[in-house]
Amino acid sequence: MISKVTVLNLLGVLSVVFVLSCASESSLKKEETLPGLKPQEIENSRQVKAMNEKILASSLPSGKDLYRDYRIGPEDLLEVSVFEEEKLNKTVRVSSQGNISFPLLGTIRVKGLTASEVEKEIRELLAEKYLQNPNVSVFIKEYRSQRITVIGAVDKPGPYDVAGQKTILAVLGMAGGLKEGAGQLLFLIRPSPGEGVSSGEKETGEIKLSTFVINLEELLVKGDLTLNLLVMHGDVINVPVSGKVFVGGEVVTPGGFPLQGKKVTVSQAIAMAQGLKAIAKGGEGKIFRYLGNGSEKEIIPVDIYAIQRGESEDPVLKENDIVIVPKSPTKAFFTGLLETVKGLVGFGFSLGAL
């Protein structure tokens, strides 16, 4: 028979267990909310983590031939074999002009071709005069070193020397993936004309720059691999932090500017960029707005001069909007002429002597 004291002791133990379990549950809840993150920040953190997992998975080697579509360039080393004639077997270095020298055939242009395309070219040239149905093999023995620079909201920004063909995802993997706070857009800046999702082109001296805009959510979350562009020597990959607008072209200090929860208009963005240059064509400005559907974008013309005079509406910019101000050739000519005259005066010439 259970005594009254025993029952009381059991009730006491159960009470202690209940209190401890409540305290434990309460502490767990406190731990879950301890960082003090807002729901939106938690969601952004999860999204960045998911994107980085996608980057890591995409940068791992696969069973496919990673260099099947590699385009041959200067300084690559090719090993050419002709099975019917061993004397024609040769290892050749691609010249800086993109050519190779091959026995019987002389100079062959190979820059921009894949290994299989070079095989076909050599096979057809040999079949014209020298061999019947030759079997030709081209193997890329050494890939030229390509320098790609990664900047912005990545774990390890900086220049990277890569060999062989690499994609945006592969280079982001080398850079340690995205940091929390990374924006939705990635900018691939290329120092030569190229095809792709271009937001416009700028010219600096004789170097033409093309900017490709990649929607990271489309690429990493929705898996649109058409946006996973191949990178080239000299490319710059820029992943800006979220909550910015961008101003480029003929302004004093182009770049990205934070919204910080405020509404920013076109005129305010131009002011953040320290105003227009003397050679700017402010009447033909444009807003590039990416709509989140791969390469789809809206181009909105803006007359900055009319806005500054109060004769036109001052549009409010959205996150990741890009304002581009083109150059006026006429203004550029007269500005250059004026600088030349100033220089001559500085060297002791007078305007009357000209």
Tell me: do 324 and 201 sit in the same domain.
no
Percent of the chain topping pLDDT 70? 66
pLDDT greater than 90 at residue 171 = yes
Tell me: do 174 and 111 sit in the same domain.
no
Output the domain CATH number for residue 86. 3.30.1950.10
pTM for the complete prediction?
A: 0.50
What is the domain range of residue 324?
243-349
Tell me: do 50 and 171 sit in the same domain.
yes
Contact 187, 173 (CB under 8 A): no
**306 found inside a domain:** yes
Q: Which of 177, 143, 176, 178 is nearest to 162 (CA)?
A: 143
Q: What is the pLDDT of residue 56?
A: 59
**71 found inside a domain:** no
**68 found inside a domain:** no
Number of C-beta neighbours around residue 334 at 10 A: 12
Tell me: do 125 and 217 sit in the same domain.
no
Tell me: do 177 and 129 sit in the same domain.
no
Tell me: do 138 and 271 sit in the same domain.
no
Q: Which of 232, 254, 237, 236 is nearest to 245 (CA)?
A: 254
**Inter-CA distances, 60 with 49, 64, 179, 198, Å:** 17, 11, 20, 28
Tell me: do 332 and 266 sit in the same domain.
yes
Tell me: do 290 and 303 sit in the same domain.
yes
pLDDT in tens, 3-54: 544 444 544 544 544 444 444 444 433 333 334 445 555 555 666 666 666 6
pLDDT greater than 60 at residue 199 = no
Q: What is the pLDDT of residue 53?
A: 66
**5 found inside a domain:** no
- Domain C-terminal end among 142, 166, 184: 142
In the structure encoding, which two tokens stand for residue 259, read together? Answer: 């919204």
Q: Total structural domains in the chain?
A: 3
- The conformational region for residue 164 under phi > 0 = left, psi -120 to 50 = alpha, else beta, is left
Q: Using the 8-state DSSP alphabet, how is residue 104 labeled? A: T
Contact 206, 222 (CB under 8 A): no
Q: Pick from 91-95, 178-182, 337-341 the range whose average pLDDT is largest.
A: 91-95
- Domain C-terminal end among 172, 206, 241: 241
What average pLDDT does range 229-251 have in this prediction?
86
In the structure encoding, which two tokens stand for residue 296, read together? Answer: 């789809």
Look at strands 236-239 and 244-249 and give their pairing.
unpaired
Contact 198, 206 (CB under 8 A): no
Distance CA 131, CA 86 (A): 12
Q: What is the pLDDT of residue 321?
A: 87
* pLDDT, averaged across the chain: 75
Tell me: do 226 and 303 sit in the same domain.
no
AA identity, residue 51: M
Tell me: do 263 and 202 sit in the same domain.
no
pLDDT in tens, 214-223: 888 888 888 8
**192 found inside a domain:** yes
Tell me: do 89 and 162 sit in the same domain.
no
Distance CA 197, CA 210 (A): 10
**34 found inside a domain:** no
Output the domain CATH number for residue 251. 3.10.560.10
- Domain C-terminal end among 241, 269, 292: 241
Phi/psi at 256 (5° precision): -100, 140
Distance CA 231, CA 192 (A): 12
Tell me: do 150 and 106 sit in the same domain.
no
**10 found inside a domain:** no
**316 found inside a domain:** yes
